[in-house]
Each structure stands twice: as structure tokens, then as C-alpha cells.
Structure 1
Amino acid sequence: MPVMSASAPFDAGTLRLPENLPPELLRQWQSAADDRERAQALTGMARFMRDSSMRAAQQLGEAALELAMQAGAPEEATLALVGLGFVAAHLNQPDRSQESVARATELIHEHGLSHLRSSVVNVRALTQMLIGDMNSARQDLQEALSTAQQEGDPGDIGNALVNLGWLANSAGDPGEALHQLNLLEEHIHTLSDADIIHDLNNYLHENRAAAYVLLARRARDRGRPEAAEQAARQGLMVLRAATASLRTHPSLTTEVLCHAHESALHLLLGNLSGAQQAADRAAAMNSDLDQQLYIEVPMCLAELHEAQGDPAAALADYHRALSIVRSQKRHRDTQVILRAMAALHERAGQYPQALQVLRDALQDTQDALERVNTAAQRHLSLAHDLQQARQDASSWQDRLRHAETQARQDPLTGLLNRRGLEEGLPALTGNGDALLAALFLDIDHFKRVNDRHSHAGGDRALQGVAQVLRAQLTRWPHALLARYGGEEFVLITPVTDAAQAHALAEACRRAVAAHDWTALLPGTNLTASVGYAVEPGERLPEALSQADEHLYRAKRAGRNRVYPPSD
């Protein structure tokens, strides 16, 4: 959703609602008397859509936030921000999730909304898990649980316990996961709200099944077949309870995960046909989800293919999953997949390949540590931005809008930043068959510019290149241009074919090389290397990955060139 200004209020009548909303949510929207009630209705719709389309949930949440701001309703704005933080965490947009959490925290402090604090801290924990900071996530979840208990909020208590169980499973500690889930079950028995009970029961059974998968694998790996069989059969019993719960309160994502767990459990029991049937159900249902969030489906397919004597197909499954999680910088899932790939190579006696995969895992861990440090700095920067917004704006609504604009824009060049790019992508990828070109452009020898002209000169170079690139896009009205980080820029636009993408890449390269830089950088000429790739919109992550690799090929080939070259 675009950022709205006070002079252009959000028009709820122009909002396109998803087609699969329940009648009661539509009635709530249609009967809303004002923007505050409309914001409440949209927040409910966003919560419902999380199960099938996180992107749709994000758009609805943005609209709910705008309506809440127009209505001067800080509690509704906070709830919308909590939902947006949750969705961003699951879409692996940690910066965006942190921004939502920071703004929600600001509103809680300003308007005395302490009863919402547990929800905000819970979302912050999800973001910590995303970037790989499991200790901070655990501390946040303990705080969320304590706060919810103080406030007496049964839903928040349940959510904190669910996520403590999920955290333990993610950390490979099924015993702790089952302990937290037992506490959750005791909590559920004290509740009277049927909707909360059904929601928590679904989470309870799915996470329990995941814990028994871990227990069975651990027992198998330790040479204890009887314990492995017992854990696997207990897991299948849990899944029978899950099936009954899902009939009462359907959840597509939970059902997909349960089928993946069922496949893994049947495989541990040596039941290949049962594992195949469950894996097929998981894969078929997963294809109906408008999101690529769960690795359990490709993982169960990979394990099944190896058990069927097809390690090549298993590796292909792992690589497909790895491509998704790496494009989304999901450290925890990347580590899980790489460990599984290394083990597969070892079992096949392919020790050099196993060693290389383990090296990749080590490099990913180092990258994740850098992201944790960057996130800490980002948190401090967000606090500073909100303080500055408080000084610059007269109302909390203006502060949120100001911070939102800042969050989408690179302050140095005025181009989109990564978040702004992410928010613009759904409009380009809506038609999955349409071709998109992804271009990465990197200023050559940028360190020399900084060394010769100082960092101020480097900043001028970045601003100048941004202007040069903007000038190339006058005939590309749908193009998205962003500063991706450092001296690297990314451009994404619809194209008719690869030749058109190459022509655009070459035009950008030539424009940088031909520009007169003497006024900005006396005695220095700038050039740039460009890598590009073209894929259908539904394969944009693969296009970005290919373009990034092609950029490095252009630089290795001598810089100031486009890769791949024209045919």
C-alpha cells in the first residue's frame, strides 16, 4: 500500500478485498460506521489471510493502519502494527518487522496501552528468531509470557507458550518443546473462548508432532530403534488429534505442516507408501499457499527420495528449498538444509562435497552473526528516527507517516531501500507468467573513490549514479530502482525478452561511463559493472540470485561490462 499524506486520505472504497473472506468478516466491514471500525475489520481480515497469503495480509494490515491513523485511534493503529510486524517476520523482512515493533512500542508508551505490550514483545521475539538470535528470542518470549500473565490475557499467554515450544523445536530441543506444550495444554483447559481454544489446539498438536519427529530421529541416530518407533507412533497419535482439531477449525498452513510431519513419521517407521501419500498431500496443499515459508515440505520430499534410492532427486529438493531460504536470508532454515545436505553427501561417500557444504554452513553462520550485530545497530537507529520524528511532527499520526516514509527510502540517494523495493514487488509479480528483468549494478573500484575523495566524495558518487540511473528509466514507468547496499543498485522491471533486458543493462552501464564526473569528482571517471537475469515473475528470487552471480562474473571479467553478453 502507498504511504498516504494528510492531503490525500485513504479511500476505503477503493480497497480490493480478497475473495475468500468469511461472511462474518465481510459483514463486519460492511456494517462499520467509521474509519476506526473499518480499521478493526481490516485487522481481522489480515489475521485471517495469514493462513493462505501473507502478502494479502500485509496489504490489509497497511490499509488498517492508515484508517486507524485517519480516525485518530492509537489502539487500533497499535494492533495493526503488531499484525504487520508478525507478517513481516514470517515474510523474512526483519527490518520491516523491527520498524513495526518500534512504532507499536512508541504508541504503547505514549497512550498507556500496556495490555498490548505482550503481543509486541512476542512479535519482536519472532524477528530475533528470524535473524538467528535465539537467546534474545527466548528472553523476549519469557518477557511476553510474564507480561501476558500480569495482564491476564489468555490469548497472549497461549501465544507465548506456543512460540516457546516452537523455539525449542527450532533449537533441536524436543524435551523442552514438549514441556512448554504441556504447559500450553494445561492453559487451554482453563479457557472458555472457543475460538482461542481451537487456535491454540491446532498449534499445540502441530508443534507436538514436530517434537516427536525430532525425538524419533534422535533415537534412530543413537541406535535405539525401539525408542525411535515409540516416538514415531506417539507422533502419529498426536496427528490424529490434530486432524480432529482441524476439522473443527481449519487452518491450511497447519494442515500442510501436519502432513509433512506425518510423512517424516511414516518414513521413520519404514512405511514408504504412507510417507509418499502424506508427502504428496503436503506438496499439493503447499502449492495452494501464496507464500514460501515452510521448509518442512521439501525436506520431507528429500528424505523420501533418498529412502527410495534417488539421492539426486533428494539433492534437487534440498537445493530448491535452499534457494528460497537464502533469497530470504533465513539463517535457521539455511542451517537445517545445509546440515541435511552434508549428511546426504557423507552417506553417499561424497566427502569433498560434504566438506564444501559444511564450509557453506560456517560462512552462513558468520553472515548471520553480522546480521545480528546489524540488527542491534538498526534498533538504535530506529529509536533515533522515532525521536527525530517526535520533534518534527505535531501528532502521533504524522510521526508514523514520517517514519514510514523514512523506512522506505534510502536517505542518501532518495531511491528505494530494500524495504521499499520489497513493497513494490507484489505489483510486478502479480502476473506470475510475465517476464521480469532483475539487474544488479555495482560501481567499479568504489573503495578507490573513497580513498581519493573521502567518504563525502563517495557519497557524491552514489548520489550521482542514482541520478544517472533515474534518467535511464523515463521509458520504463513500472521499473523499481533501489540502492541495495553500499555501492550496489538493483533495478527490476517487466520486459518482453532477454534482449530488452540486456539493452537496458547496457544503457545503464554506458550512461555511467559516459557521464562527466569532473564537477563531482575531479580527476576521476566512474564505471559500473552490471549483471542481469530474466525470469517469470513467480521466479523472481531465482532471477535476483542469478543477476547477483552475473554481476560478479562481470567484475571478474574485467569490470565496466554487462554479463551475460548479448547473443
Structure 2
Amino acid sequence: MRAAFTAQSATMTVMSPPVPFDLGSLQLPANLPGPLVMEFRAATNDRERAQALTSLARYLRDTSMHGAQQVGEAALELALLADAPAEATLALIGLSFVAAHLNQLERSRDAVTRAQELIREHDLRHLQASLLNVRALTHMLIGDLNGAQQDLQDSLGLARQQDDPLDTGNALVNLAWLANNRDEPGEALHQLNLLEEHIHSLHDPQLRDDLNNYLHENRAHSYALLARHARDLGRTEAVQHAAQQGLMVLRAAHAALKVLPSRTTEVLCHAHESTLHLLSGDLTAAQRAADRAAELHSGLDQQLYIEVNLCLAELAGARGNHAAALDEYHVALALVRSQHRHRDTQRILGDISALHERAGQYPQALRAAREALADARDALSRVNVTTQQQARQDASSWQDRLRLAEAQARQDPLTGLLNRRGLEEGLLRLQESPDGPFAALFVDIDHFKRVNDRHSHAGGDRALRGVADVLRGQLARWPQALLARYGGEEFVLIAPVRDAAQAHALAESCRHAVAGHDWSALLPGTDLTASVGYAVEPGHRLPAALTQADEHLYRAKRAGRNRVHPPRD
């Protein structure tokens, strides 16, 4: 997943430390990237220093979670000194992520709670997707996969609505990871296909490289699961096919890691490689990959990933080394039990039971099965308590959430414009308005299917958001206007006008704005145009005006597109 807290209140006005932060007490680790160190040294105030330290903490996660925690705490302290709530929230989100990796679930949850309070108090809605993304991790660790799924779906929806490429990518990565943890590799591959489309739309090479690493590692994991399912069903050919697919993905993964190294991702890739070789019957290659994973893992400062122990255990079992397999399973079991990671506990106890059963040790197999049952009961109790705590926290802001839900019910989630329900409610108000007459415009993107075919559906979504922004820009002089996404690539605009001439001018203004906009950044090699149909009626006849404008739009389309109908007299 992506994404020492003091007992201070989350209110910025009272939580600032009483004494200046001593930068001399902060020992930055050696071998940090030069640009990140320079950014910190060039900072001229505490806000900038907090931003630089948060970037440093994010970099350190790959090699030293304790180092990342130390630097993240310094970033938080500086943000509080600077009375900078956004920077403090980002530091808390990072600290929650780190604490979860260090088996500090209470600290992780505390950081999430404090970040949520800052977001509400200071209206930092643009950070909500990041917070939900990291909160999902704490849900996953205690076995609340439904809670994690809900947080990640909400995070993805917010990220897409805000057109945030980082949060969108993170949510898709974590939805795939969650699906693999549910043992649903087909769903994981679906999320990864969406992630790949998203990556192709990005213009930031660093973000592309980062997400590519996650894409390949999670795909390899999915194919390992598919191969395991096929083995359990006795489908030898399907095992070999899935294993070959997974190993091909890993070749791409290792090439991507040369572009942007990540020790954590490399460890996981070698663990998946060992599993894939084992399932395809190549024990020598499996051992080689497992040894490499263990070697790299020994230098990692984290307590989240158990893949290395599990692949070593499975490999030892396949070689008939029962005791070595049990040792590896029990190392992993002790870790996940200490973190109350009940789903992983169930998985490991199931593997231990199966190992004993294969060895004919039926009493030991039964004991492991009983342990799994007892743990499942404990897990249910803990998830219920956590869910109740979360419900109480969420209920404290029910009014905010209700207002948000009401607004979203009238809002198109992709463009942020009114949806058809919001448009209909606005029309009812205008029908009773003394203002008027009103122009009703239908605006339709020309040849929109070609945009989807050339740039994928992600490109089509970018086009729709871009056209929505262009049309918003045309309404600065019409504060009473309504602008809605009517459906597909069609938009509706309602504005009070003096006469038909002004309505025509507005329609032409919208057409020119779309055709004259520079689309190269969003849609390389593609220009967009739009056709517009309009009609003018008094308020009480707005439904008739919409019907007429819709007919005029189709006449504009039939006449050759990129034009307005009716033409000016």
C-alpha cells in the first residue's frame, strides 16, 4: 500500500509546540538523493522545511521505516510550528503509512484520526483521497476487507473527480493488492488493466516509473495465484500457462526496477518468481529466487510483508524438509499475530494444517485447524469493535457528509457539473423565475468515439473534463446559468439572454472555445470540436426549448459538425 505522535490536539491554533524546533537534533540518514537534500537546505521557512522533510520521509520508506518515521515526525513538528494544516496533514498521512508497516496500528489509527480532523477543520478536501487510501491499509491489516474496499473505492472516486493522477494511481494499485489478498486474481488483473491505461495517460515520467513497478509486481502476484488455483484443480496445462505469463511479467518488472529501483518491490518480485518456478516444477530456479528475496529482505526495515517467509516455507515443504517449512511458517505467524492480521493468520494456519496433513500428522493438522477457528472468532470480535469506533467517528461529522451526499446526488462525478437530476431541479426554479427569455444549448463533442478509440476510455474521460472546464469559462457573465453533463459526451447550458442574437453569440462562443483550445497536453495529436444546437424560450417553456435545442443539435451534426444551428440570420 501507499500511504511518535504526541498527544497534542489536532486544532492548529493549540497544537503547535511551545518551543522552536531544533534542526540540529535531526540526523538525516546518509546517501540521500542530492535534489531532496538540496530542497531541504534551500528551504527558507518552516513550511518549506516541512514539505522537504515529507519528501525525504517518503523516499526513506523503501529502506528504513524507522528513519522515515523520525523524519516524518520532524516534518509534522515543523508544519505545526508554521501553522500549516495541509503540510501537517500530509505528514500525518505518511506517518500513518509508516506506523502500519512497523506494527504500530494504534499510532497508525491515531495519525489517521488527526489527519481527518485537520481535513474537516480546514476544508482540505483535496487530501481526503490520500487519507482514505492509507486508512484502507489499517482496515486490511485487521482483516476488515470490506472496510478497506469501501475506503479505496471512495478514494478512487474522489481522485478521479479531482483529476489527481497520483491518488488515482495509488487507489488502483491498492484495489489490485486488496483483490489479490482476497484471493481474487481476476479482479486484481482488471484493476491493473485500468492502472495500465492510467499510466499511459500520464505526462510525469517519475510517476509513470513508480506506478509501473507496482503494476508489474501485482500482475506477477496475480498470475502466481492463478497458477496456484489451477494446480489445486489439477489443471497442469493451465498451471504452466499462468506461470509462463507471470515470469514474462517479471522480466518487465526487473527492467522497470533498473529504471527506478525499489528494494521492497524487488523483494516481492523475487518472492513471486520463486513461487512461479515452484508451481511449474523448477525447484532449482525457485530456490535461487527465494534466496535472493531473503538476501534483499534482510536489509529491509519493515514488518508488513511475509511473502519471503511463505515462499521459503513452501519451497522447504516441496523438498520434504518439514521442520524448515514449519520454522518459516511460524516466523510469519508470529509477525501477523502480533499485528492482529487475522486474514493472514488464517492463511498461514491453513498452510500449516495442510503441511501436517501431507506428512500424516493428523493431530497436529487438527490442532492448527482449531487454532484457525478460534482466531476467526477473535477476528470477528475485533473487526466489530473497530467498525463501531469508526462509525462513531464518522457520525460526528454526519452533517458534513449529508451535505456532501446531497451535492453529489446532483453532481456528475466525472466533470463536477450538474447531472440530469441537478439540471431538472434547476429548471424547475428557472421556470418560476421572472427573468428571461432563456437560451437552452445542447453541446456535443464531435467524433467522440474516435477519442476513446485512440486514447482509451481514460483519454475520453480527460476530454470530457476538459470540455466541461472550457464551457465553465464561457459562463463568467452568466452567474444564473446552469451547466450540466446531460449524458455521454453531451452537455446542456441554460442562460438568461436578451434575444436570439445573444443566444447565438453564446453558442458560437462555446463552439469557438472548444475548437480553439490547445488539447495537446491532454490528448496528444488530437483536436476537439463541438456541435451546438440552441433555442430561446421564456422560463415556463424551458422543457420545450430543450427539445428544440436537441433537434437543432442533430441538424448541426448532419450539416457537417463543428457548427451552430440555427445559423444567424
**Aligned: 1:308 with 2:292:** no
**Aligned: 1:293 with 2:304:** yes
How do 1:466-505 and structure 2 match up within 5 A? none
Deviation at 1:385? Answer: 11
Q: Distance in 2 between matches of 1:384 and 1:216?
A: 44
Deviation at 1:117? Answer: 0.8
**Aligned: 1:337 with 2:355:** no
Match of 1:117 in 2: 128
Q: Distance in 2 between matches of 1:220 and 1:317?
A: 22
**Aligned: 1:97 with 2:117:** no
Q: Distance in 2 between matches of 1:44 and 1:103?
A: 20
Deviation at 1:386? Answer: 11
Over 3 Å counting, the alpha-carbon distance change for 1:376 and 1:205 in structure 2 is same
Match of 1:165 in 2: 176
Q: Distance in 2 between matches of 1:384 and 1:235?
A: 45
Q: Distance in 2 between matches of 1:23 and 1:385?
A: 45
Deviations 1:202-260 (A, max 9, x none): 00000000000100010011010000000001000000000000000000000000000
Equivalent position SS for 1:241: helix
Out of 61, 65, 72, the position equivalent to 2:76 is 65
Structure 1 unaligned blocks of 5 or more: 388-567
Q: Distance in 2 between matches of 1:211 and 1:49?
A: 27
Out of 202, 219, 223, the position equivalent to 1:212 is 223
Q: Distance in 1 between matches of 2:392 and 2:194?
A: 37
Deviation at 1:329? Answer: 2.0
Match of 1:488 in 2: none
**Aligned: 1:175 with 2:175:** no
Contact 1:322 1:337 in 2 (8 A): yes
Match of 1:554 in 2: none
Match of 1:275 in 2: 286
Deviations 1:446-479 (A, max 9, x none): xxxxxxxxxxxxxxxxxxxxxxxxxxxxxxxxxx
Out of 96, 108, 113, the position equivalent to 1:85 is 96
Q: Distance in 2 between matches of 1:379 and 1:161?
A: 23
Deviation at 1:108? Answer: 1.5
Contact 1:99 1:382 in 2 (8 A): no
Instruction: Tell me which amino acid in the other structure corresponds to 1:250.
Output: P
Match of 1:464 in 2: none
Contact 2:103 2:338 in 1 (8 A): no
Deviation at 1:111? Answer: 1.7
**Aligned: 1:30 with 2:51:** no
Contact 1:322 1:334 in 2 (8 A): yes
Equivalent position SS for 2:31: coil
Equivalent position SS for 1:276: helix
Instruction: Tell me which amino acid in the other structure corresponds to 2:372.
Output: A
Deviation at 1:284? Answer: 0.4
Q: Distance in 2 between matches of 1:375 and 1:96?
A: 14
Match of 1:262 in 2: 273
Match of 1:7 in 2: 18
Q: Distance in 1 between matches of 2:243 and 2:276?
A: 5
Deviation at 1:381? Answer: 6.7
Q: Distance in 1 between matches of 2:19 and 2:331?
A: 43
Match of 1:373 in 2: 384
Match of 1:525 in 2: none
Contact 1:341 1:357 in 2 (8 A): yes
Contact 2:40 2:53 in 1 (8 A): yes
Contact 1:298 1:317 in 2 (8 A): yes
Q: Distance in 2 between matches of 1:125 and 1:85?
A: 11
Q: Distance in 2 between matches of 1:280 and 1:199?
A: 25
Q: Distance in 1 between matches of 2:277 and 2:94?
A: 36
Deviation at 1:2? Answer: 7.5
Over 3 Å counting, the alpha-carbon distance change for 1:148 and 1:384 in structure 2 is closer
Q: Distance in 2 between matches of 1:108 and 1:292?
A: 29
Instruction: Tell me which amino acid in the other structure corresponds to 1:25.
Output: L
Deviation at 1:96? Answer: 2.0
Structure 2 unaligned blocks of 5 or more: 9-15, 399-569
Q: Superposition RMSD on alpha carbons, in Å?
A: 1.9
Instruction: Tell me which amino acid in the other structure corresponds to 2:268.
Output: L
Deviation at 1:332? Answer: 2.3
Deviation at 1:344? Answer: 0.7
Match of 1:445 in 2: none
Question: How does the TM-score come out when normalised to structure 1?
Answer: 0.66
Instruction: Tell me which amino acid in the other structure corresponds to 2:21.
Output: F
Out of 25, 32, 57, the position equivalent to 1:21 is 32
**Aligned: 1:133 with 2:144:** yes
Instruction: Tell me which amino acid in the other structure corresponds to 1:255.
Output: E
How do 1:177-256 and structure 2 match up within 5 A? 177-256=188-267
Instruction: Tell me which amino acid in the other structure corresponds to 1:47.
Output: R
Match of 1:154 in 2: 165
Deviations 1:137-160 (A, max 9, x none): 111111000000000001100100
Contact 1:92 1:330 in 2 (8 A): no
Equivalent position SS for 1:18: coil
Q: Distance in 1 between matches of 2:382 and 2:323?
A: 33
Q: Distance in 2 between matches of 1:24 and 1:152?
A: 27
Relative to structure 2, which stretch is displaced further, 198-207 or 83-92? 83-92
Instruction: Tell me which amino acid in the other structure corresponds to 1:379.
Output: Q
Match of 2:66 in 1: 55
Question: How does the TM-score come out when normalised to structure 2?
Answer: 0.66
Equivalent position SS for 1:188: helix
Q: Distance in 2 between matches of 1:356 and 1:103?
A: 42
Equivalent position SS for 1:52: coil
Over 3 Å counting, the alpha-carbon distance change for 1:23 and 1:269 in structure 2 is same
Q: Distance in 1 between matches of 2:374 and 2:133?
A: 29
Over 3 Å counting, the alpha-carbon distance change for 1:293 and 1:130 in structure 2 is same
**Aligned: 1:362 with 2:353:** no
Deviations 1:171-210 (A, max 9, x none): 0000000010011001100001011101110000000000
Q: Distance in 1 between matches of 2:98 and 2:207?
A: 19
Equivalent position SS for 1:24: helix
Q: Distance in 2 between matches of 1:2 and 1:342?
A: 40
Equivalent position SS for 2:44: coil
Over 3 Å counting, the alpha-carbon distance change for 1:138 and 1:386 in structure 2 is closer
Deviation at 1:20? Answer: 3.0
Over 3 Å counting, the alpha-carbon distance change for 1:61 and 1:386 in structure 2 is farther
Match of 1:323 in 2: 334
Deviation at 1:87? Answer: 1.6
Instruction: Tell me which amino acid in the other structure corresponds to 1:40.
Output: Q
Q: Distance in 1 between matches of 2:372 and 2:191?
A: 29
Q: Distance in 1 between matches of 2:17 and 2:238?
A: 64
Deviations 1:274-330 (A, max 9, x none): 011101100000001122321110111111111112111111111111122212222
Deviations 1:114-172 (A, max 9, x none): 11110011111111111111111111111000000000001100100000000000000
Relative to structure 2, which stretch is displaced further, 168-177 or 2-11? 2-11
